[in-house]
Amino acid sequence: MTKKKYLLMTQPLITSAVYGLIVLNSLLPGIFSPANAVPLAKQVLAKQTTEMPRWQYSVMNGSPSLRASAVSPDTLWVAGTKSSVFISENQGKSWKNVSLKSGFNGDIRDIEIFDSQTAIIMTAGSGEKSRLYKTTDKGKHWQLLYKNREPEGFFNSIAFWDEKNGLIQGDPVNDYYTILRTTDGGKTWARIQQKNIPRKLKNEAAFAASGNTLITGEKGRAWFTTGGFSASIYSSTDSGRSWERTALPLHHKTQTAGGYALTLNQKKEIFVCGGDYKNRSDQYTNLVYLPAKKNSNWKTASSHNKGLRTAMSCFQQTCLLTGKTGTEISSDHGINWRVYSDDGFYTMASHNNLFLAAGDKGKVGVLNVSVMQNKGQLKADH
């Protein structure tokens, strides 16, 4: 399953990777804003390049950089810098500030939700700045769950198969990527032995861009992606106990280029998006995928190559691909794409027909694709 999953106890994780609150004005005749909710600071309509519902933005208080997102059947979550966490219980009409109040100024780069009450957030940073916090009451209280013990360590992403079993992917320590595994819901973690993962390539690096560097799937499958003068995907078929590396045909000409995020479409085909954050708007290969057919080779998707893309998510045949410089949409499971919006986001998550995205300066938005499907706006991209 794709990253940013909603965990229904021991059931498989349900995809949530796009946090873009994109809703038709006609769906929002009045915006509910209770006293304890963060008011919608402003709503902006971005320039659209297709006859579809327009992005409608909310801006979170404090304008944090938002790089983590998740969606469950009844709650939306975004998180980012300044230990900021916000949730919505009405599909993004209003937002509550449930940020950490521990005095720790963390840079939250990932979030995993297990039900409407329970979530784990991951902060990124050197040494003890990489941490996990957990809530069981919708963010009213947060408990420090785990703190990085390696001075050279740096967490990039987390992913869970269920409420008990999950992984942390971190920067290399002693030339091997750090993969930590838990079987008790994150209370304790054990590092995967170095003999069970390839030594990192020269100049290879992983990026904590959107909470999608690492994802889990069915039957103990897991993947993470890397870059830095290379573009690779590491895969595991035994719940993260051992890993194999495969080169990807993504852009990888600089130290800041390569794979940034992964997702799975409805056909269980895996996609890796990326580019170069120092050259966000350049033309280069930014999306590749592995067809579901056995013994297939990695292929390039027709994404228009419009610069760095850091998140992708799918519902049925509809997929969205985004980065700070723009967003594309596909109606054939992510194979062919057309431009959706000139504006974009860092992170995305989805559940059923609701897509959510979040990005720079506290920007969040929502898209209900059932509206487009009912109006016949999702047509073939060929």
Per-residue pLDDT of the chain (382 residues; tens, 9 = 90+): 444 444 433 333 333 333 333 333 333 334 334 434 444 434 444 444 445 666 778 999 999 999 999 999 999 999 999 999 999 999 999 999 999 998 899 999 999 999 999 999 999 999 999 999 999 999 999 999 999 999 999 999 999 999 999 999 999 999 999 999 999 999 999 999 999 999 999 999 999 999 999 999 999 999 999 999 999 999 999 999 999 999 999 999 999 999 999 999 999 999 999 999 999 999 999 999 999 988 899 999 988 888 999 999 999 999 999 999 999 999 999 999 999 988 899 999 999 889 999 999 999 988 888 766 555 555 544 4
Which of 169, 151, 85 minimizes the C-alpha distance to 120? 85
Task: Break the chain into its structural domains and give their ranges.
Answer: 25-374
CATH code of the region 25-374: 2.130.10.10
**Cα end-to-end span (Å), the chain:** 27
Structure tokens at 367: 């898209």
Residues sharing a CB contact under 8 Å with residue 156, sequence separation 6 or more, in sequence order: 109, 124, 169, 170, 171, 206, 207, 208, 213, 214, 224
Radius of gyration of the chain (CA): 19
* Burial group, residue 190, by CB count within 10 angstroms (0-12, 13-18, 19+): exposed
**pTM > 0.95: yes or no:** no
Angle 231-334-25 from CA coordinates, rounded to 5°:
120
CA 22 – CA 355 distance, rounded (Å): 7
